[in-house]
A and B are shown apart, each in its own frame.
Chain A
Amino acid sequence: MINLKSVSHSYNSSYTIRFKDWTIADGSQWLLLGESGSGKTTLLHILTGILKPSAGDLTMDEVSLYKLSPKALDQYRGRHIGIVFQRPHLIKSLTITENLLLAQSLAKLPEDHKRIEEVLESLDMIAKKKSYPNQLSQGQLQRVSIARAVINKPSLLIADEPTSSLDDKNALSVLELLMQQSALNQSTLVVATHDKRVKDAFTHTYELK
């Protein structure tokens, strides 16, 4: 259960965005809609615990995120929140498997090769586990970045414009994978987008104006 309560954020103290309260039930799948400039990225960064809002409170499973120490917040984020970015952004100097190992060890979880195989298997990427990021296509990289987001079985899976740089076919399949993976790992899913193609797949929508 995630609670967003009277949160607002101001840039340069002159421009303030207010967000309406939001309650996200465990396991639900949400669409976060908004034009660019509407504060979508700001809200996503607040949700992922990398941007402290100027006012208001965010609780996730009874934990008030921004009352944690910076170090505890980093660790909480690593363990409980998985993020899929618009572009994959894997670490170039590491192989696919090493990228996933990194996600485990940075969250201070034991390295678990079985879990890595399992996730890569479910995303149909097991054949590429020893490849480097620059040897993969965009669609394949996005799959790996989904794998990285779910590797630690997060309670919240956030995707920021995951489909905007992909064609129709890839966009749909990425969306399917996100929904399938969040169900598989019992994660709550929030997808932020202005992509009209993905609208119909969701029942819950949080709209920014």
Chain B
Amino acid sequence: MSPLKISWKSICSKPLSSSLNLILVAFGTSILTILLLASTQINDKLSRNSKDIDLVVGAKGSPLQLILSSIYYIDFPTGNIPLKEANELAQNPWVKRAVPLALGDNYNGTRIVGTDSGFVNLYNLKIKAGKLWQQDFETNIGSTVAESQHLKVGDEFYGAHGLTGSTDIHKAHAYKVTGILEPQGNVTDNLILTNISSVWKMHDPADEKEHDHHKKDDDHRSENPGKKADAPEIQNKEITSLLIQYRSPMSVVMFPRMVNQSTNMQAASPAMESTRLFSLIGVGVDTLQWFALLIMAIAVISVFVNLYNSLKERSYDLAIMRTLGASRSKLFLIVIAEGIMLTFAGTLIGIFLGHAGLQIIGHFQESSQARLNGLIFLNSEIYLLAAGLAIGIFAAIIPAIQAYKSNISEILSKS
């Protein structure tokens, strides 16, 4: 009959108040766990997707929108920029690598990205099956796309106009899957890559007039209906944005200013915009964090009151244990162990609930780009466990000291 077993039996003998304490601790911990996991994962995803990209150049508008559309593929693009001007920028001596992007179409909600081989190098993409795209209308698809759309090498599909929805299908040309990419753990798993001229040809009015296509006034992909004849010429070609890698850190200050002032385009830094985005989300995270801490504080008080009250009832029990040979320190241990067991078990349950909760949230999330995963465990969760121990000790220390100090002769003579 160890002290731990005595504490355990005591917890079991008052199931109602014990479970109330357990629930409070578990609830607070699970919120903290979800916050910890979600903010780590979001932060991680944000930085992994923009890892090697120093700057994005696109049409004027919101810089955050430009980053969201060209790095995370969530929002709509800001508009188009002339290929000619983009090429001039790409030739700039400060630029080490410039990768063009042409967005505008989707296949069942998965974005089709027109780009060149620079994109493959930028994200270090590798082919799992098939080969890299070379001809027009050949595509490489991300591993998640292959899985969720049941596409394999050799399959053909039609892209639809816009970034979501499949009402406006480009029936003139079919895309062909020539390769499937290895899983990267970033946004490229959810993209369909092709060359830029495929995207242009898809929207070439000469081809499009074959079927009854009502052109919408889209702001993200311009097709200049007035210049049908010139469309194939490079002067009038447009792209959505340009991903840029600098040659030297010196460019960080100079280059964006140069773009913003001397051209009709805007430059946005993924790092800066991600930080800004995260600080916007951060307000909500902070609020939730305080809420969780408040619940934890209530839990501490509840465990304390529970132990303190039960100590009054049990003072006779504890005195009897002393007459049976238990030392003062043993009583101290019994009471402290009771507090720790309650909060530690609550913390364990809370961490479990937090992971389960996040997994459920992830399951119901619409955007697969930012899907949260409840099965990832972090080292910093150890701190949550330590905090569980600490609040157990904190809540139990006063009752435990009282048990330690109690005068058994006085208690026994009061009966």
Contacts and interface: CB of A to CB of B under 8 A. Distances in A.
Given A74-B326, A93-B10, A105 B1 contact: yes
Given A45-B409, A85-B412, A106 B325 contact: yes
B258 interface: no
B408 interface: yes
Interface in B1-27: 1-2, 6, 9-10, 12-13
Contacts of A106: 1, 321, 324-326, 330
Interface size of A as a range: 20 to 34
A57 interface: no
Chain A CB within 10 Å, residue with most, of B321, B412, B415? B412
B327 A71 contact: yes
B288 interface: no
Interface string A87-102: 1010111100010011
B1 A111 contact: yes
Contacts of B1: 98, 101-102, 104-106, 111
Nearest to B411: A50
Contacts of A83: 323
Contacts of B412: 41, 45, 50, 85
Contacts of A102: 1, 6, 321, 324
Contacts of B9: 91, 93-94, 98
A11 to B, nearest CB: 11
Nearest to B9: A93
Contacts of A51: 409
A23 B43 CA distance: 80
Nearest to A95: B9
A17 interface: no
Interface string B314-353: 0011001111111111100000000000000000000000
Contact of B325 (A79, A93, A94, A98): A79
Contact of B409 (A50, A74, A91, A93): A50
Contact of A41 (B10, B321, B323, B413): B413
Interface string A51-78: 1000000000000000000110011011
Chain A CB within 10 Å, residue with most, of B6, B317, B321, B323? B323
Given A93-B9, A93-B13, A105-B1, A74 B317 contact: no
Contacts of B320: 85, 89, 91
Nearest to A49: B323
A106 B317 CA distance: 13
Contacts of A93: 9-10, 12-13
Specify the main secondary structure of chain B where it touches its partner.
Answer: helix
A41 B414 CA distance: 10
Nearest to A102: B1
B317 A78 contact: no
A70 B326 CA distance: 11
Chain A CB within 10 Å, residue with most, of B1, B322, B325, B413? B325
A103 B324 contact: yes
Nearest to B324: A106
A188 B326 CA distance: 23
Contacts of A111: 1
A4 interface: no
Contacts of A107: 324-325
A108 interface: yes
Contacts of A70: 327-328
Nearest to A94: B9
A48 interface: yes
Nearest to B330: A106
A92 B10 CA distance: 9
B317 to A, nearest CB: 5
B325 A77 contact: yes
Chain A CB within 10 Å, residue with most, of B409, B413, B415? B409
A176 to B, nearest CB: 24
A74 B322 contact: yes
B265 to A, nearest CB: 75
A50 B322 contact: yes
Interface in B141-155: none
B323 A77 contact: yes
Interface in B112-161: none
A111 B1 CA distance: 8
A86 interface: yes
Chain B CB within 10 Å, residue with most, of A75, A85, A86? A85
A77 B408 CA distance: 13
B312 to A, nearest CB: 14
A151 B11 CA distance: 26
A106 B1 CA distance: 8
20 contacts: A42-B413, A48-B323, A50-B322, A70-B327, A71-B327, A71-B329, A74-B322, A78-B324, A83-B323, A89-B316, A92-B317, A93-B12, A93-B13, A102-B6, A104-B1, A105-B1, A105-B2, A106-B1, A106-B324, A111-B1
Given A83-B323, A85-B412, A94-B9, 15 more contacts: A41-B412, A45-B409, A70-B328, A71-B327, A74-B327, A74-B328, A78-B324, A78-B325, A89-B320, A92-B13, A98-B9, A101-B1, A102-B1, A105-B1, A108-B325
